[in-house]
């Protein structure tokens, strides 16, 4: 169904493109080779002049000014050359997203972008017959200041609008009134209650040469209720990566540049560590004379878990009733440690290998996740293990329903600890997978992970040769003729 101006008010479907603009790709440091998509609920549609709610307790509501393509004729398996003939027209749209609740849905963006009012559309449609799909312009203003200004030429779009329509049509039937949100250019950032966001799409008329406009799509941001129920689903949680994505840059988010941070892993280094197996990292540490870097006896609550981060240490001492009375209650060292967590940290708990009680439960796990922690390592037990396993990565020695005070007194944090017979210093790099958990000194991590990844490539090549029936003599590791073959193969990649 459409308004008289042709702008859909309840289309059959809304399909959105993740990244389509060169400027957005450059801003995020990743350029997709093919378009990818997600769906937005039709109930998220709003009109020009409507308000959008940012729930109380959240902070990362971001706008994304976009060109909306409205389908006019049923399209199935059409070519790019004919795709525009199936389009009724284009209009302005705003693909709002609440980054505070984005993590749980990853690329689907279901909850973060399908909230009521999160897809304003309109106010008027520019007929496709009058609009060259490579000559459109989109602009976005926040409180009267231009934040986005881009176009749809071949130099500006990674994927032409006609390619997007044709690609979608080979996977699903596009029906009259369906809306395609074609991605946002650079400049998307966070807005707050009291802000006004405007988006306009313009084109030059093919018949008259005059400027055609969708009109300005106006959205006013207000504060709404923040009554999320933790018993129903994931809660809002913000980490540094989400802040950067929502604001558009570390500077805009008010974060220190990565190179000035101590103990914080860059996104590139974190990605390398996530790729490298602990077995390979351990071997590289051993080659450098470090043999006592394995946190022994711990395993993931959920098999297949990978954990990467810098150590936030916490130490428990054996329970003594008078000490638990003075140090166990109130705002104790354990609670203070979890409240002071920084994004990207891993809580490393010294529990002396004592598995006779829990060292954390679901409430502390929720707090750690909300603070942006990447997980917890404890050589003690975990309470509420099923719930904790669904909140964030945890490696422990056991599951135990008993409370902390049965065996432990929370004593201090941010000190050297002995966890699983390994010494861990605050800021050490922690990596865990199905083989176990290792500790890497911060000053060695770059060379260790690069060497481990290089060795993984070599081992993969060796495995292929062994699988082909070759004996392992002089092959594992490659020597002589095999070393020459490996070097030649590597040079050819």
| 180, 328, 389, 403 from 383: Cα distances, Å | 46, 17, 10, 8
| 33, 64, 324 from 68: Cα distances, Å | 22, 12, 62
Instruction: Show Cβ contacts of residue 11 under 8 Å, excluding neighbours closer than 6 positions.
Output: 42, 45, 70, 177, 178, 179
Smallest CA-to-CA distance from 449 within 274, 312, 293 is with 274
* 394 marked as part of a ligand binding site: no
- The residues pairing with 53 across neighbouring beta strands, listed in sequence order, are 222
| Cβ atoms of 22 and 155 closer than 8 Å | yes
| Cβ atoms of 437 and 421 closer than 8 Å | no
* 361 marked as part of a ligand binding site: yes
* 362 marked as part of a ligand binding site: yes
* 31 marked as part of a ligand binding site: no
Greatest C-alpha distance within the chain: 88
**Would you tell me how many other CB atoms lie within 10 Å of the CB of residue 292?**
11
| Cβ atoms of 122 and 48 closer than 8 Å | yes
d(CA 400, CA 80): 60
Angle at the Cα of 223 (from 105 to 19), degrees rounded to 5?
35
Smallest CA-to-CA distance from 99 within 222, 244, 242 is with 242
Helix, strand or coil, per DSSP, at residue 300? strand
Place of tokens 């199935």: 76
* 69 marked as part of a ligand binding site: no
d(CA 149, CA 136): 11
* 383 marked as part of a ligand binding site: yes
Q: What is the DSSP string of 79-134?
A: -HHHHGGGEEEEEEEE--EEGGG-GGGGGG-HHHH-STT-EEB-S--EEGGG--TT
Strands 217-224 and 294-295 turn out to be unpaired
**What residues are designated binding site for substrate?**
361-364, 383
Q: Which residues are annotated as a binding site?
A: 361-364, 383-384
Binding-site residue numbers for Mg(2+) are: 384
């Amino acid at each position: 169904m459409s308004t008289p101006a042709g702008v859909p008010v309840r289309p059959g479907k809304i399909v959105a493109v993740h990244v389509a603009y060169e400027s957005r790709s450059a801003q995020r440091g990743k350029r997709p080779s093919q378009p990818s998509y997600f769906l937005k609920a039709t109930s998220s549609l709003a009109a020009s002049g409507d308000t959008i709610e940012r729930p109380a307790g959240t902070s990362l509501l971001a706008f994304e000014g976009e060109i909306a393509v409205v389908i006019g004729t049923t399209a199935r398996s059409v070519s790019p050359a004919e795709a525009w003939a199936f389009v009724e027209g284009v209009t302005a749209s705003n693909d709002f997203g609440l980054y505070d609740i984005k993590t749980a849905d990853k690329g689907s963006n279901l909850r973060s972008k399908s909230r009521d009012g999160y897809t304003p559309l309109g106010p008027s449609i520019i007929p496709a017959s009058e609009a060259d799909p490579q000559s459109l312009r989109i602009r976005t203003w926040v409180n009267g200041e231009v934040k986005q200004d881009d176009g749809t030429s071949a130099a500006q779009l990674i994927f032409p609008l006609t390619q997007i329509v044709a690609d979608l049509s080979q996977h699903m039937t596009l029906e009259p009134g369906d809306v395609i949100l074609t991605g946002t250019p650079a400049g998307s950032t966070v807005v707050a209650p009291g802000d006004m966001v405007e988006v306009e799409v313009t084109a030059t008329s093919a018949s008259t040469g005059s400027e055609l406009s969708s009109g300005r799509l106006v959205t006013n941001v207000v504060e709404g209720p923040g009554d999320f129920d933790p018993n129903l689903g994931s809660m809002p949680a913000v980490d540094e990566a989400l802040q950067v994505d929502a604001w558009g840059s570390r500077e805009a988010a008010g974060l220190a540049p990565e190179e000035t941070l101590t103990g914080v892993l860059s996104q590139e280094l974190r990605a390398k560590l996530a790729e490298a197996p602990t077995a390979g990292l351990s071997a590289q540490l051993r080659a450098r004379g470090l043999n006592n870097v394995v946190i022994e006896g711990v395993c993931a609550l959920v098999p297949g878990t990978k954990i990467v981060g810098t150590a936030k240490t916490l130490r428990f001492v054996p329970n003594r009733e008078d000490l638990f009375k003075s140090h166990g209650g109130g705002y104790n060292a354990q609670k203070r440690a979890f409240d002071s967590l920084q994004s990207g940290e891993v809580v490393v708990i010294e529990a002396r290998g004592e598995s006779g009680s829990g060292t954390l439960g679901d409430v502390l796990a929720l707090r750690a996740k909300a603070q942006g922690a990447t997980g917890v390592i404890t050589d003690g037990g975990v309470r509420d293990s099923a719930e904790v396993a669904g909140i964030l990565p945890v490696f422990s020695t056991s599951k135990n329903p008993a409370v902390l005070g049965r065996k432990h007194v929370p004593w201090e944090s941010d000190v050297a600890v002995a966890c699983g017979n390994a010494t861990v210093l605050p800021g050490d790099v922690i990596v865990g997978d199905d083989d176990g958990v290792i500790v890497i000194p911060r000053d060695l991590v770059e060379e260790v992970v690069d060497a481990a990844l290089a060795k993984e490539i070599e081992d993969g090549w060796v495995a292929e040769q062994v699988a082909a029936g070759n004996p392992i003599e002089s092959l594992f590791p490659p020597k002589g003729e095999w070393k020459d073959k490996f070097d030649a193969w590597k040079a050819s990649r």
